[in-house]
Structures are given as structure tokens and as C-alpha cells.
Amino acid sequence: MADWGDARRFLKAQRVTLASRSFAELAALDEYATIQPTEDLRPFQFTVYRKLLPDGSLKVIVEAWRSRFFGILHNSAADGFVISPMGIQRELEPEDLW
């Protein structure tokens, strides 16, 4: 059974894959999309969020989420970046993730 270490590795891999795409490819993504994980990561949900910022840049966030105690509690982790129309990327600040 997968644990949080496995989920975080999957999350990082998804972030790296997204960061390798061009601005145009990222702009074409849905604003909210679920990623289907491998079978061993089924207890976790993975989502990609894309938001157009006022300056024309895109904020891209990948989130891992798992409910606990019959959905009363949950664990989550997120990682992401901002990319400008010219393709310049920067890391998100922790407050940008939530």
C-alpha cells in the first residue's frame, strides 16, 4: 500500500512533467483536472489547478489529497510554479499554494 512518501514522489513527478511544457500547452489545460494515479496510489487523489493571473502569467498547482477517518479529516500536499507568457518560471511561495 502506498504511503505519503510515494504520493509526494508522484506529485513531484507530475510537477516536473508540467514544468517541462510550454506556456501555450499549459494555457490549454483545463482550470481543474484530476490525474488518475497508478493502482498502488488509489487511496490518494491528485489534481492539477491552472489559473490565469492578472499579469497574464499562469499559476499551476498539483495537489495530492487523501481522506482519513471516513472523510472527516484529510491530508494534503501541493507543489507548483508560475510561468510567464515568455516561458519564464518561478517557484510559488507557500502562501500561493493555499
Q: What is the mean pLDDT of residues 83-97?
A: 86
Task: State how far the Cα of 73 lies from the Cα of 11, in Å rounded to an integer.
Answer: 20
Q: What is the mean pLDDT of residues 10-16?
A: 91
* Residue whose C-alpha is closest to residue 59's, from 23, 33, 86: 23
Q: What is the pTM of this model?
A: 0.84
pLDDT of residue 70: 63
Strands 89-91, 58-68: pairing kind: unpaired
Q: Where are the domains of the chain?
A: 4-97
pLDDT of residue 71: 60
Question: What is the grid cell recorded at 74?
Answer: 484529510
Which residues partner with 81 through β-bridges?
60, 91
Q: What is the mean pLDDT of residues 49-78?
A: 82
Q: What are the pLDDT digits (tens) for 19-61?
A: 999 999 999 999 999 888 777 777 788 899 999 999 999 999 9
